[in-house]
Amino acid sequence: MRKPLVVIAMCGTVLGLPGSGRANRVPGTTHPATLPAPFQPLGLGKGPATPQSRDHRDRRDSLRETVDAARPGLEKAAAHLAAANWMLAVPASDAATAWLLGVAGDSDLQGLSDWAKSAKEHLAKAKEAIASAGHDTAQDESGGKRRSRLERLVTLLEPFATLFASADPSLAADARRSGYGRAALGLATAREAEDRSLASCALLWQSFAWEQAGRRERALVSLPDALTKPEHPPYDFMSRLLRCRLVADAGQRPAAAALLIRMGAISKEWFPRTAPDELESRRRLIILLQYQVCLAWRQELLKTGPSVPGPLDELLAEARETLSAADRPAAYRLDAVIPILVEPPAVTRKPTSTRTAPAATVPP
């Protein structure tokens, strides 16, 4: 791989990066218009976001048992909130990461939406359980505080559920945009949270929601500079990738490519205590987005002529070689789409059935 600064200079001077002066396009060799299409060597954007793993099925079933065994009132509400929180955070994390990077397919979006709709059902039941416990806890100070905390958790989780449910590809475009706009407004509360991880997560998804709602300028205003060190990983890290993607989508693909190349070079400085494999997985995610940006840039150039600058194809080939290497760790993806804010309450479980249940293929 070339030295980062040399490659950035190539993007700027040779290919006409904004701010470097309008360099003439250098002659390139003629290339076929069929450079390999975007590929997903990392498991992103492939297949439905359904509970394929035994761990997900087991966790879902455990949460269901907790909900069933919880006592009516605040305990039941806490159980429903824990189920909703997990459904929004964990099982569709691959699909959510792909969505942020612009490589999600309809099956990913459908799976993400299905989990969110299930979470919305739990949130509705949590509100019902809180309301039913209102009279019982009104005179109990500790109960009143617990009730207030659970009500706040509903407020924090609902916008995330609205955002992810709106990804449903079967919805009309206007309905999706409306859902994204409501989610963006609702996430303002979480952005002001004292929990900085939650606040940075809300900033990431609120900016993305504004983009999905057709408000790119508003999205870019909130996102941090792409090359500033992330303070609250993983969400700050993903915010920087999202900014690069939106810059590219706004037509500034040379600028986005240069930012991503530089980001890959300084990522080791961002995460000095990160294990080598984890650091490499983050770098590979950066390179995946770089590949997508450069490929879209190449396809745009081919619309106006039969050739593209040779250095651009070299960048693509090098990125593809890196991503295709089988002896390197998988690309980074969010372990949790949102933070886990509530754990299931300790309850006395009912005896479990010995009958073997069929493997789940859709969210509960």
The reported pLDDT for the residue numbered 136 is 53
Whether 322 is covered by a domain: the verdict is no
Which of 336, 343, 340 is closest to 78 using CA atoms? 343
Whether 353 is covered by a domain: the verdict is no
Q: Which residue has the higher pLDDT, 54 or 136?
A: 54
Q: Quick check: 285 and 331 in contact, CB under 8 A?
A: yes
Question: Which domain, by its residues, includes 300?
Answer: 4-19+53-317
- pLDDT higher than 50, residue 352: yes
- For residue 15, which amino acid is it? L
Whether 237 is covered by a domain: the verdict is yes
Q: Which residue has the higher pLDDT, 1 or 307?
A: 307
Whether 35 is covered by a domain: the verdict is no
Banded model confidence at residue 47, pLDDT cuts 50, 70, 90: very low
Tally the domains of the chain: 1
Whether 79 is covered by a domain: the verdict is yes
Which of 99, 86, 92 is closest to 48 using CA atoms? 92
Banded model confidence at residue 29, pLDDT cuts 50, 70, 90: very low
The mean per-residue pLDDT over the stretch 247-271 comes to 95
Whether 356 is covered by a domain: the verdict is no
pTM value > 0.85: no
Whether 333 is covered by a domain: the verdict is no
Pairwise CA distance, residues 198 & 201, whole Å? 5
pLDDT tens string 175-231: 999 999 999 999 999 999 999 999 999 999 999 999 999 999 999 999 999 999 999
Which of 314, 316, 308, 300 is closest to 252 using CA atoms? 300
Whether 39 is covered by a domain: the verdict is no
Banded model confidence at residue 141, pLDDT cuts 50, 70, 90: low
